Structure 1
């Protein structure tokens, strides 16, 4: 199929007029008309209904226009990725992370990224499924374990632990447990052991469930656990970074915690020179440095 004819067809379909398309393409109306007719003949299909008010796509024309629109978007994306290795930070950046980390840690900080790079367009994809970076399902990932896929650049960002938290209001009303045995008098809020989560978190939850807790609420992500805890519903198993973000949370049984959970940033080798990736990587690293300072200040307070 002739790419030039497709380009001209797309312009005509977008403008709804041979004349307007010709003006945009710097071609005469007759030249545009010839290209469209040639495309219709090669496809053996009518692409436009012609009437006094302009051109309307036929059903076959709609199908082709959808295809050329998608092609244009892919070409624009490819062009942006080629250019952004040499120019300022701009364009689309697809970031994937877990629901908990993306919602509770990353998303609230993006205002700083946009303030610095207002032309950046972030597509934040939060899900527990590990997206395939080499196959370009996303540009960059923040994951709770080291990626195993080949051809990725990896950077360890920080370590997270799962700990127990409640609100002061809940503890004032229900008392503060002084041991795991005392948890039987409290409602435990945690991720379900059947939910997708890191092994260290699952291990801690399973340990907690060996105690005959009075009541249990399970949620399939940490955002839901946090919301329940903030409503004074019980004691929740949450990542330690929430304590630096929300002063309403009080750590319960400080010695009870999961094993270390490493947090990695990863992106494809082919994006090594990308300005967008470099900007996001540096932003995350700066925010982690600030987070660590805030966490130390909270612990020393």
Structure 2
């Protein structure tokens, strides 16, 4: 089969529209349509159901789309390996992690990585959704649980605990709670238990809310929770790694703890030799060593 026709077919199937596929490929709609018809004729089958709202793959089209997806995945992996230099680290590296870890821990440390590798381009994708690494939705992931997908190289980086924190100014004004019951006199700042977050964090919030705390501020990510805490709005449920960069935060009710949440770095087996992956992995590991050392010096480990 002609690769150009397969490439155009894949773009149409992915976009669900001849026009949108043409825009992506920089081809006219009529040129895209001709190539798809020619591919259907060569295969003696219909690949799309055509209707007013767009195109839907037929059963035969689904089979071909699965094949072209696998081909493109392998081509992307090959291109990534080719781009990796024997001596240099350069090009795009797509990193996915959670909003909290990405904004509060990873992003503030990236200047060190760029200083060492100025030709590296990081595409930082922050979302709670777990992206499919084998399907190349990202190159490397930092996740708050061990990845379950096959064909991944994984390394445990650290452990995180969700705990309660407040500013000295807030506690001076409102008092420091000594028991869980004392939280009724404070505002709790946390994520809603139904929002996307690690299970241990949601369980801790649920336990705290069972005390019928009258005043609660819900924020849908830990960056927002931290900002509210720093502005003296209340006591926040936050990951313990924030105290490295915000050492003035005071831990409240030390017995309140989510338990250990493992943090893993993972990337596809086929990128094992990637210089960009190796540079990022080593950078993260070095930063975590520094992170743990600083926490010990602060007495927070």
The number of residue pairs the alignment matches comes to 240
Please tell me whether the aligned partners of residues 77 and 271 of structure 2 are also in contact (alpha carbons under 8 angstroms). Answer: no
Per-residue deviation at 1:196? Answer: 1.1
- Structure 1 residue runs of 5 or longer lacking an equivalent are 5-56, 65-73
Which residue of the partner structure matches residue 299 of structure 1? 299
Per-residue deviation at 1:88? Answer: 1.0
Please tell me whether the aligned partners of residues 219 and 225 of structure 1 are also in contact (alpha carbons under 8 angstroms). Answer: yes
Per-residue deviation at 1:83? Answer: 3.6
Distance 1:93 1:142 in 2: 13
Task: Give per-residue Cα distances to partners, 1:132-178, cap 9 Å, x unaligned.
Answer: 00000000000000000000000000000000000111001000001
CA 1:248–1:87: 2 relative to 1, 3 Å: same
Give 1:1-301 correspondences, 5 Å limit.
Answer: 79-84=79-84, 86-299=86-299
Distance 1:115 1:230 in 2: 29
Distance 2:240 2:120 in 1: 30
SS in 1 for 2:189: strand
Q: TM-score, normalised by structure 2?
A: 0.74
Distance 1:155 1:269 in 2: 12
Distance 1:227 1:127 in 2: 19
Please tell me whether the aligned partners of residues 77 and 270 of structure 2 are also in contact (alpha carbons under 8 angstroms). Answer: no
Please tell me whether the aligned partners of residues 188 and 215 of structure 1 are also in contact (alpha carbons under 8 angstroms). Answer: yes
Q: TM-score, normalised by structure 1?
A: 0.74
CA 1:272–1:233: 2 relative to 1, 3 Å: same
Please tell me whether the aligned partners of residues 80 and 274 of structure 2 are also in contact (alpha carbons under 8 angstroms). Answer: no
CA 1:61–1:298: 2 relative to 1, 3 Å: farther
Which residue of the partner structure matches residue 16 of structure 2? none
Distance 1:62 1:295 in 2: 61
Task: Give per-residue Cα distances to partners, 1:68-93, cap 9 Å, x unaligned.
Answer: xxxxxx98995453141634111000
Please tell me whether the aligned partners of residues 161 and 261 of structure 1 are also in contact (alpha carbons under 8 angstroms). Answer: yes
Which residue of the partner structure matches residue 40 of structure 1? none
Q: Which runs of 4+ in 1 moved over 6 A?
A: 1-4, 61-64, 74-77
SS in 2 for 1:257: coil
Q: CA RMSD in A?
A: 2.5
CA 1:210–1:76: 2 relative to 1, 3 Å: closer
CA 1:140–1:80: 2 relative to 1, 3 Å: closer
Which residue of the partner structure matches residue 19 of structure 2? none
CA 1:77–1:244: 2 relative to 1, 3 Å: same
CA 1:2–1:181: 2 relative to 1, 3 Å: closer
Structure of greater Rg: 1
Please tell me whether the aligned partners of residues 155 and 264 of structure 2 are also in contact (alpha carbons under 8 angstroms). Answer: yes
Please tell me whether the aligned partners of residues 85 and 273 of structure 1 are also in contact (alpha carbons under 8 angstroms). Answer: no
Please tell me whether the aligned partners of residues 229 and 235 of structure 1 are also in contact (alpha carbons under 8 angstroms). Answer: yes
SS in 2 for 1:255: coil
